[in-house]
Homo-oligomer: A and B are copies of this chain.
């Protein structure tokens, strides 16, 4: 169950791959363009893109000699849903705690 989400996080747990995603945010990129832009080797770029692809984060369009990579932003949705799920209850608890601490303080004053 959490395995799926963990592997999504795993795919994102690398600075080069995060930079790639930021580049892909605005437009499609070929492997060579990205390698050049990021200052890393072509094989490294291909390998990282492969990891993003396996995680379902990018799509690839074969265009003759080249591959155009594009971001699949819906792939980030589970991440958002999880974060919301976690934060909701926790924030409630934190507000409760603050409230109790405040009550305690007032009680001590009186």
* A83: B residues at CB distance < 8 A: 76, 79-80, 83
Stretch at the interface among A29-37, A46-54, A88-96: A88-96
Q: Does A6 contact B (CB under 8 A)?
A: yes
Contact A26 B89 (CB under 8 A): yes
Q: Does A86 contact B (CB under 8 A)?
A: yes
Query: How many of A's residues come within 8 Å of B, CB to CB?
Result: 34
Interface residues of A in 66-102 (CB under 8 A from B): 71, 73, 76, 79-80, 83, 85-87, 89-91, 93-94
Contact B15 A13 (CB under 8 A): no
Chain A residues proximal to chain B, CB less than 8 Å: 2-3, 5-7, 9-10, 12-15, 17-19, 21-22, 24-27, 71, 73, 76, 79-80, 83, 85-87, 89-91, 93-94
> Closest 9 A-B residue pairs measured CB to CB?
A73-B90, A10-B13, A9-B13, A2-B18, A2-B15, A9-B12, A73-B87, A6-B15, A13-B13
